[in-house]
Amino acid sequence: MATNRALAYLESKKNLAGSACGVAGVALTLTGLAGTYWPVVVAGLYGAGALIAPPERVAAPSFPDPREQLGALRRDFDTLADYIKEVDPAPAAAGKLTELMALYEALLDPGWVADVLATDPEAVHRLARAIRQDLPESVDTYHRTRWWNRLAPGQESPDRHLERQLGLLYDEADRLTRDLRESESRRQQTHTTYLEDRDRS
């Protein structure tokens, strides 16, 4: 580890700048301008060069591109779809579940819609949270609560809870869709304004 750090410093901008200034100090010594204090002059110039050199640029961490994130999210959606096939809720909840899955599928469908989605990291995050966390949790708690409800009937129907949760998730996905549509509308308006301004100039 120490060897790696030493090698890294040898190749660093600070060492190169310091060495260049140190060579200038040696040149001053050879011409007689440094006098008897030439070691101090050489060391001082090296230190000055090392201090004024710009710091090494630390490489920024590389994170997945939004399109790569969507690819992983599509695979997770397929896994979720297989899981959802095993669900057998009441007709009202089943209809809302079908609508919700169709909306998710449309948003993730490869093409220009997914390209628009990929430009909005917050929208990708919201959709990922719904697919990977919210909907599976809704379905899982529905299954477990329904089992307990059979043992102790008389409580509020798990189907009603599931229907409400699916409605909320659908509203959230619908808002996300509207936000993306408005973003495209603003982009179109911006382009219109740009063309109008260019035409006037």
Q: Are 107 and 173 in contact (CB under 8 A)?
A: yes
Q: Are residues 44 and 73 in the same domain?
A: no
Which tokens is 157 given?
């129907």
pLDDT of residue 150: 64
Q: Are residues 38 and 78 in the same domain?
A: no
Distance CA 65, CA 176 (A): 20
Q: Which of 22-31, 39-48, 50-59, 137-146 has the highest mean pLDDT?
A: 137-146
Distance CA 169, CA 162 (A): 10
Task: Report whether pLDDT(58) > 80.
Answer: no
The 8 Å CB, 24+ separation contacts for 73-78 are 73/108, 73/124, 73/127, 73/128, 73/131, 73/132, 74/108, 74/110, 76/128, 76/131, 76/132, 77/104, 77/105, 77/108, 77/131
Structural domains counted in the chain: 2
Is 15 contained in some domain?
yes
Distance CA 122, CA 135 (A): 18
Q: Are residues 100 and 11 in the same domain?
A: no
The domain containing residue 152 runs over which residues? Answer: 66-200
Q: Are residues 107 and 178 in the same domain?
A: yes
Q: Are residues 15 and 99 in the same domain?
A: no
Query: For 173-200, how does the pLDDT look when each residue is reduced to its tens digit (9 = 90+)?
Result: 999 999 888 888 888 888 888 888 887 8
Q: Are residues 23 and 112 in the same domain?
A: no
Distance CA 112, CA 114 (A): 5
Task: Report whether pLDDT(60) > 70.
Answer: yes
Q: Are residues 120 and 190 in the same domain?
A: yes
